[in-house]
Amino acid sequence: MSQWTLGIIGGSGLYQLDGLANVRRERIETPWGEASDLLTFGELHGVPLVFLPRHGQGHRLPPAAIPFRANIAALKQAGCTDILSISACGSLREELPPGHFVMVDQYVDRTEGRERSFFGPGCVAHVPMAKPVCSRLSRLAAEAGEAAGIALTPRGTYLAMEGPQFSTRAESELYRQWGMDVIGMTNMPEARLAREAELPYASIAMVTDYDCWREHTHSVDAALVLEVMRSNTVKVRQLLDRLVLAMSEQARMPGPDGIETVLDTAIITPPSARDPEMVRRLAAIAGRVLG
The pLDDT of residue 245 is: 96
Do 190 and 68 meet the contact criterion of CB atoms below 8 Å apart?
Answer: yes
Q: What percent of the chain has pLDDT over 70?
A: 96
Residue 78 DSSP SS3: coil
Which of 105, 209, 221, 257 is catalytic? The answer is 209
Determine the angle formed by the axes of helices 135-147 and 222-248, rounding to 10 degrees: 100
* Tens-place pLDDT, residues 92-142: 999 999 999 999 999 999 999 999 999 999 999 999 999 999 999 999 999
Q: Quote the CA–CA distance of 222 and 205 in Å, as a whole number.
A: 17
Tens-place pLDDT, residues 173-203:
999 999 999 999 999 999 999 999 999 999 9
Using the predicted structure, report yes or no on whether residue 220 has a pLDDT greater than 80. Answer: no
CB atoms within 10 A of CB 43: 14
209 given a catalytic annotation: yes
**What are phi and psi for residue 272, nearest 5 degrees?**
-70, -20
d(CA 274, CA 124): 9
**Angle, alpha carbons 22-25-26 (nearest 5°):** 130
Of the candidates 37, 211, 264, 275, the residue annotated as catalytic is: 211
Catalytic, 37? Answer no
What is the model's pTM? 0.95
Domain ranges of the chain: 6-290
- 76 CB contacts (<8 Å, ≥6 apart)? 197, 199, 284, 285
101: three-class secondary structure by DSSP: strand
What mean pLDDT is predicted for residues 199-226? Answer: 82
pLDDT above 80 for 171: yes
d(CA 41, CA 36): 15
Which CATH architecture best describes the domain 6-290? 3-Layer(aba) Sandwich (3.40)
Contact criterion met (CB below 8 Å) for 190 and 52: no
Strands 201-209 and 101-104: what pairing?
Answer: antiparallel
